[in-house]
């Protein structure tokens, strides 16, 4: 297979971790006989510095031509001043909308070798395997915004069509899992959540009658994610709630650094990135965990290129490296030897080659 993959290193530790995912993709292509053109482009703060725009036209054009987009992380204090004319985060929202990727998939599974990396009791973590489906291009992040010297407004808006399409993604994925969907909202106070609840209920009942649906308020969901996480299967949520809850859920797995994500639309092209931020305080020090980015590359192979065998090979190599004791600082316990970003990449590559 020939494929064009846009590679957006981003800011902070983004280039550090993306470099390891690029090594893994290259090795995968060689091993399985594919031709991946891995095309780099500036994005986020780095693009603002170079072009005054976090999403330059050349970068957007590449992403629209690519079969899949691999992204590191963006942002940092350098570009976060309240009066900044260009922000990396705004560029990311634009990219998501331009690519039409409205469903964000964030799997959270606790690897047995990392049970002790979490601050949560091991008996609570056993068997945790859940999947967030977060609506990605609507809600308060994309609503009308207004600010004056004395007040500010962010409007949260959802349409029936936006809720229907992301619900169908959740229902389809639940059919391949344990056939349970938990829809998260705040319908006791928000009109958008009341619409969300009614639309989700109708779509699941009429199009996915084999799926068990439960509704849960977002504050209760935040509690139960820690109290009884293994009881969840697919969690469906709007944009802002999903942003917050998925970071909370990452602590089940021990670290933000080990979790991937995929942003999908109606076509095969997707945007793939780890869920962690740019962590500028450790950028360039070679201590960031590349696993989330490497697993995001595996999701790219599976969802955008249809290469499930290759994706499983990468996921198996990551699992074997962890079982063998490979640890970066964020997942290493007291007295456990710590390796560099490149060292973790090499441990995964050795098992992939084997």
Residues 44 and 79 in one domain: yes
What pLDDT digit, counting tens, does each position of 304-325 carry?
A: 999 999 999 999 999 999 999 9
CATH code of the domain containing 32: 3.40.718.10
What mean pLDDT do residues 4-21 have? Answer: 98
Q: Would you say residue 123 has pLDDT above 90?
A: no
What is the span of the domain harbouring residue 173? 129-251
- Among 196, 230, 251, give the residue marking a domain's end: 251
- Among 202, 231, 251, give the residue marking a domain's end: 251
* 186 part of the active site: yes
Cα-to-chain-centroid distance, residue 280? 19
Residues 93 and 178 in one domain: no
In contact, 151 and 205? CB cutoff 8 Å: no
The rounded mean pLDDT for the chain is 96
Residues 139 and 39 in one domain: no
Q: Shortest CA distance to 353 belongs to which of 11, 97, 9, 27?
A: 27
Q: Would you say residue 251 has pLDDT above 90?
A: no
What pLDDT digit, counting tens, does each position of 64-103 carry?
A: 999 999 999 999 999 988 778 889 999 999 999 999 999 9
For residue 204, what pLDDT is reported?
A: 98
* 102 part of the active site: no
Q: Would you say residue 11 has pLDDT above 90?
A: yes
* 219 part of the active site: yes
* 158 part of the active site: no
What mean pLDDT do residues 136-146 have? Answer: 94
* DSSP string for residues in 220-269: HHHHHHHHSGGG--EEEE-HHHHHHHHHHHHTTTT-GGG-EEEEE-SSS-
End-to-end CA distance of the chain: 22
pLDDT grade, residue 254 (50/70/90)?
A: confident
Backbone angles phi and psi of 90, in degrees to 5: -65, -40
Residues 272 and 242 in one domain: no
Q: Would you say residue 241 has pLDDT above 90?
A: yes
Q: Would you say residue 118 has pLDDT above 90?
A: no
Phi-psi group of 67: left, alpha or beta (phi > 0 → left; psi -120 to 50 → alpha; rest → beta): alpha
The verdict on residue 114 lying in a domain is no
Residues 231 and 287 in one domain: no
CATH code of the domain containing 210: 3.40.50.2300
pTM over 0.85? The answer is yes
Considering 126, 219, 266, 281, which one is annotated as catalytic? 219
Backbone angles phi and psi of 16, in degrees to 5: -65, -50
The verdict on residue 115 lying in a domain is no
* 61 part of the active site: no
Q: Would you say residue 163 has pLDDT above 90?
A: yes
For residue 92, what pLDDT is reported?
A: 95
**Which residues have CB under 8 Å from 277's CB, separation 6+?**
12, 73, 75, 256
Considering 102, 141, 158, 272, which one is annotated as catalytic? 141
């Amino acid at each position: 297979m020939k494929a064009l993959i846009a590679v957006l290193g981003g800011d902070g530790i983004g280039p550090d971790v993306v470099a390891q995912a690029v090594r893994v993709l290259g090795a995968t292509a060689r091993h399985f006989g594919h031709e991946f053109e891995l095309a780099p482009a500036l994005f986020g703060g780095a693009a603002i510095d170079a072009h005054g725009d976090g999403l330059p036209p050349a970068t957007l054009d590449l992403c629209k031509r690519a079969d899949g987009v691999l992204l590191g992380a963006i942002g940092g204090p350098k570009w976060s001043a309240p009066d900044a004319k260009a922000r990396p985060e705004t560029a990311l929202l634009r990219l998501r909308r331009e690519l039409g990727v409205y469903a964000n998939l964030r799997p959270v599974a606790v690897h047995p070798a990392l049970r002790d990396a979490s601050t949560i009791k091991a008996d609570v973590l056993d068997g945790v395997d859940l999947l967030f489906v977060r609506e990605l291009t609507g809600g308060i992040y994309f609503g009308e915004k207004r600010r004056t010297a004395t007040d500010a407004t962010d409007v949260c808006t959802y349409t029936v069509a936006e809720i229907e399409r992301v619900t169908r993604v959740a229902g389809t994925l639940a059919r391949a899992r344990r056939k349970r969907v938990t829809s998260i909202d705040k319908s006791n106070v928000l009109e958008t959540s009341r619409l969300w609840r009614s639309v989700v209920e109708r779509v699941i009942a009429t199009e996915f009658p084999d799926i068990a649906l439960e509704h849960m308020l977002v504050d209760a969901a935040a509690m139960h994610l820690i109290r009884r996480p293994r009881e969840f299967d697919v969690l469906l949520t709007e944009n802002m709630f999903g942003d917050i809850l998925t970071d909370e859920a990452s602590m089940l797995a021990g670290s933000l650094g080990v979790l991937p994500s995929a942003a999908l639309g109606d076509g095969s092209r997707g945007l793939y990135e780890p869920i962690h931020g740019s962590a500028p305080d450790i950028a360039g020090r070679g201590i960031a965990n590349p696993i989330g980015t490497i697993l995001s590359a595996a999701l790219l192979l599976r969802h955008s290129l249809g290469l499930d065998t290759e994706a499983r090979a990468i996921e198996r190599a990551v699992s074997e490296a962890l079982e063998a004791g490979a640890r970066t600082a964020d997942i290493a316990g007291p007295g456990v030897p710590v390796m560099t970003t490149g060292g973790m990449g090499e441990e995964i590559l050795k098992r992939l080659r084997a």
